[in-house]
Amino acid sequence: MKRLIISLLLISIFFTFGCTGKNEPAKKDENFSVLVFITGVIAGSPTYEMMSEGALEFAQKYPDVNVKIYEAGMNQAQWEQQLAEMVSEGGYDIVIGSNPSLPEISANVALRFPEQKFIIADAEYEGNPQIRTYNYNQYEQSLFLGYLAGLITTSAMPYANSQKKIGFIAAQEYPLLTRQMVPGFIEGAKLADPEIELDMRIIGNWSDANKASELASAMINSGVDVFTAIAGGAAQGLIKTAAERGAYIVWYNTNAYNLAPGFVTGCGIMEQKKLTMEILENALNGKIQYGISETIGIKQGYLGFIFNDPGYQSLPADIRGKFETFMNNNFSAD
């Protein structure tokens, strides 16, 4: 009789604990643990600010969700080691981050920790069953920012010159930048005027504002009068130089008009907070499919342009008219 009771207990334990699938939602009496791995620092980085805000707001909505936010700092060479150390502590249902270089780092860490799942925004990576990425359609954003830059450089605005040259300052080269962002930016500009040229410079890291300032100054000397940048904290050097010397800026992903009023003339927007909360909701409920990348853009509601700011509204009416017609013709809902 005792053997029968023990056998029944073992069977009960097996079915209670041994059959939980990897993609099943977390049970109500279990904590769901999230590591937000920031490749850099939050301060001064709106995309990281939005991701952190979304994760913390999600945790407030669900008391059984635990969120830890870790800032890895600006030394990219240390990111992989730091991520491995954080994962080795164990207990994270998912690691979430946002950086085009993070998938490869995560893939290396995944080899050591085969049960860990990684979800990465603003990146494209497929084929790894531990990694899911969401790729913002940065070609779209680059195209309309490039078109606006083209309208400005060929205009009679006070700091526009006759050389039809625009500038792109990047922290480093990576596939999303070279395949989507830079081509989209110059193609958009050439839709305004086919004679426009692009001057592109690489800083070498995401933090050296002095180097960005030096590059911007040299580019202004060469005739650049409209800039954009994908450079993290280093972009502050561009903003400072453009405001001091007189050049315009169109900005990716967030509202930066107030960083240099009168010089920042157009800003795209990335709905990073919204995406973060949706990712965590799906992860909590076991609805994330790993190993794939999903491209999201304007029509899906994750990218757009900030029209209602005085920084944009102060542009000449003819430029705004052409730009808004371009946006309506190319990106309006079907």
Domains and CATH numbers, the chain: 26-136+272-296 (3.40.50.2300), 138-270+301-331 (3.40.50.2300)
CB 54 within 8 A of CB 277: yes
Rounded-to-integer distance, Cα 133 and Cα 314, Å:
37
Extended strands (E) in the chain? 32-38, 65-71, 94-98, 118-121, 131-136, 165-170, 197-202, 226-230, 248-251, 264-270, 293-296, 303-305
Please tell me the chain's helix, strand, coil percentages from 3-state DSSP, rounded to the nearest 5.
Answer: 45, 20, 35
**Residue 255 burial by Cβ neighbours in a 10 Å radius (0-12, 13-18, 19+):** middle
Sequence length of the chain is: 334
- Calculate helix-pair angle for 138-153, 317-331, nearest 10 degrees: 160
3-state secondary structure 48-114: HHHHHHHHHHHHHHCCCEEEEEEECCCCHHHHHHHHHHHHHCCCCCEEEEECCCHHHHHHHHHHHCC
In this predicted structure, what is the pLDDT of residue 2?
39
CA distances from 8 to 4, 17, 229, 259 (A): 6, 14, 65, 68
Q: How many CB atoms lie within 10 A of CB 31?
A: 13
Q: Along the 334 residues of the chain, how does pLDDT read in single tens digits?
A: 434 333 433 334 333 333 333 334 444 446 999 999 999 899 878 889 999 999 999 999 999 999 999 999 988 899 999 999 999 987 899 999 999 889 999 999 999 999 999 999 999 999 999 999 999 999 999 999 999 999 999 999 999 999 999 999 999 998 889 999 999 999 999 999 999 999 999 999 888 999 999 999 999 999 999 999 999 889 999 999 999 999 999 999 999 999 999 999 999 999 999 999 999 999 999 999 999 999 999 999 999 999 999 999 999 999 999 999 999 999 986 5
